Amino acid sequence: MPAIGRSPSPTCRGRPRPPGRVFRHAGLLPLARPSEDRHGPRHPMNPANPLIVQGDGKVLLETRHREFDRARDFLSRFAELEASPDLLHTYRITPLSLWNAASAGMAKDDIIGTLRRLSKFDIPTDVLKRIEDTIGRFGLVQLHPHPEDRQSLRLVFRTQFVEKLVRQTTVGRELIHDDGRRGARIAAGMRGLFKQRMLLESWPVEDIAGFAQGDPLDFELRTTLAHNGAPFGVRDYQREAVDRWYMAGRPAGGHGVVVLPCGAGKTVVSLLAMATVRQHTLVLCNNQTAVEQWVREVLDKTTLRRDQVGIYTGTEKQIRPVTVATYQVLTWRRSKDVDYEHLHLFRDHNWGLLVYDEVHLLPAPVFGATAELQGCRRLGVTATLVREDGREGDVFSLVGPKRYDLPWQVLEKRGFVAEARCYEVRVPLTQAMRRTYELAEEGEKFRLASENPVKVDVVRAMADRHKNDQVLIIGTYLDQLQQLAAELGAPLITGQTPQAERERLFGGFRNGSIKRLVVSKVANFAIDLPDANVAIQVSGSFGSRQEEAQRLGRILRPKERQALFYTVVTADSKEQEFAMKRQLFLTEQGYRYTIEEHAA
């Protein structure tokens, strides 16, 4: 990938530079020396301000400063939150975060000017250069509707020099065609692939080609819940998230991602987006339990009837004005040598909106299908955009840029998510197990430590301590979970549990008739258990940050009781090493782990 701020084409070397004006517009001209800074006079030191901008792109923000709220809201629009302990939050300015900002309409001068007004010291020249060059690239390549050919999209380049550079890239040579009028076009079906591959070349495309109209669907959000008549209303931050996503119906809006903590109402955001667009909608979820919950939420909070809501899973195939499907059914195929049998669901209906629940889990085949469906409005919702495969850029180019992100601390202070306390409970290996562990292959040590039998007694004692609470015991290995369920006299839910039985057990947990529930990885995502206030994690998937955040999210619904998250790990083992990596993600978000040691 070419470096930002440099020509991506080696063919320019040794040739006379085009006029400086063109280079400046393209974001390809190095910044002037500090004494010639064209962003205005050098900024005097003001230690009373809340920010420090470092040369590596990190931004440090004092949380107890009177300008904290203003500075946080400003930073969240163009930088990624990396760490949020009590006193000092850390953000990082990245190319992707700057392109997200540019897509939302932020100008480089606004970013630099406000950074300077809020910073204790002047901004390092390298950071100024990075912001200008990176922001400057967005919008240099644009997609527009073709005025004469519906099967094509018109490409608009800000300058001839940019057009020359882009045409010389591999993707340019393969996908860009002349339209016969000294212009450029791409095939409409290549819209997503073009954006995806151009991003890899560091040319983020501004897509203002607009969207096709799906079949109309007239409905409203309720003011009272259908199941009990309780008042229901959209929260201010949920409405703001949809407003930023939709952008008043402009061609640049209607596609993108909303990031909110678990328990903050991402489904309500999706329902409000549906009510804003008012067109047939396809919702994609991680599993069948999530599908059932989505259907309940639609019927509870909107005026849609049951016959207007379809389920498309392994057991049911209903296509209706609002259809809720699983990623799994869309990516199912009989063998690796045949096509995915159900991806036709994307194409066989005139959808006006696609909603990707837990968009950070989007499977690779669905990425491919999404690349074909760029004429449809798209909303992704998630608690974290972290992907273990590093494909956040694909989410940006195929689903859309991040439109809204709200830290959990803000919602916790307002009472919208629960305050949680986290504990790491370290248990030893017995003498016999220690010998087995030391002699095991490296690949086996993690599982041996995860299934340490000492954990059973410790978990039983912890469950007894919380006998009046709603306790989830969460793990990965089925033998271990079966033993725990037997010891605790608690029901067990795994991937093999029939859906009807899952719903019965989850219902019993919600109404309080079941106080303890042992669950496998099926509970990592989209399980609505608002009264759960204690989670005991006995084993996990190596160092997965996603899993750690999602499991904590099971207990973050607001409630009167304290939310407690325990992670039981084997001391001085591979499991403890991976636990530290998992917990680092939450620690950086501001959570703190108290360490408890248990003797043999």
Q: How confident is the model at residue 37 (pLDDT cuts 50, 70, 90)?
A: low
Coil vs helix vs strand at 554:
coil
pLDDT for res 388: 66
DSSP summary character for residue 399: I
Question: Pick from 509, 506, 502, 505: which is nearest to 471 by CA?
Answer: 509
pLDDT in tens, 516-570: 999 998 766 656 676 789 999 999 887 676 677 778 877 877 777 788 999 999 9
pLDDT value at residue 314: 85
Q: Whole-angstrom Cα distance, residue 195 to residue 464?
A: 55
Q: 57 or 179: which carries more pLDDT confidence?
A: 57
**Residue 208 pLDDT > 60:** yes
Q: Which whole number is the average pLDDT over 399-424? A: 85
- pLDDT tens track for 555-592: 877 777 788 999 999 999 999 988 887 776 676 666 77
Q: Name the DSSP class of 40.
A: S
Using CB atoms within 10 A of its CB, is residue 57 exposed (0-12), middle (13-18) or buried (19+)?
A: buried
Please report which confidence band the pLDDT of residue 14 belongs to, taking 50, 70 and 90 as the band edges.
very low
What is residue 262's predicted lDDT score, i.e. its pLDDT? 78
Confidence tier at 26 by pLDDT (50, 70, 90): very low
**Tens-place pLDDT, residues 46-73:** 999 999 999 999 999 998 999 988 898 8
Of residues 347 and 107, the one with the higher pLDDT is 107
- Read off the pLDDT of each residue in 245-272 and give the average, rounded to a whole number: 92
Pick the CATH number of 236-412 from 3.30.70.100, 3.40.50.300, 3.80.10.10, 1.10.3720.10: 3.40.50.300
Our separate counts of H helices and E strands in the chain read 23, 23
- The dihedral region occupied by 233, where left means phi > 0, alpha psi between -120 and 50, and beta the remainder, is beta
What confidence category does residue 4 fall into, taking pLDDT thresholds of 50, 70 and 90? very low
Confidence of residue 328 (pLDDT cuts 50, 70, 90): confident
- How confident is the model at residue 282, as a pLDDT? 95
Alpha-carbon separation of residue 445 from 434, 442, 543 (angstroms) = 10, 5, 14
Q: Which residue has the higher pLDDT, 21 or 325?
A: 325
Q: What's the one-letter identity of residue 173?
A: R
The pLDDT of residue 119 is above 90:
yes
Q: Is the domain 418-597 a CATH 3.40.50.720 member?
A: no
Residue 41, pLDDT > 70, answer no
Q: Where are the domains of the chain?
A: 28-137, 236-412, 418-597
Q: What is the mean pLDDT of the chain?
A: 86
Identical topology for domains 236-412 and 418-597 = yes
Q: Give the pLDDT confidence score for residue 29 in this predicted structure.
A: 36
Instruction: Give 11's pLDDT tier (boundaries 50, 70, 90).
Output: very low
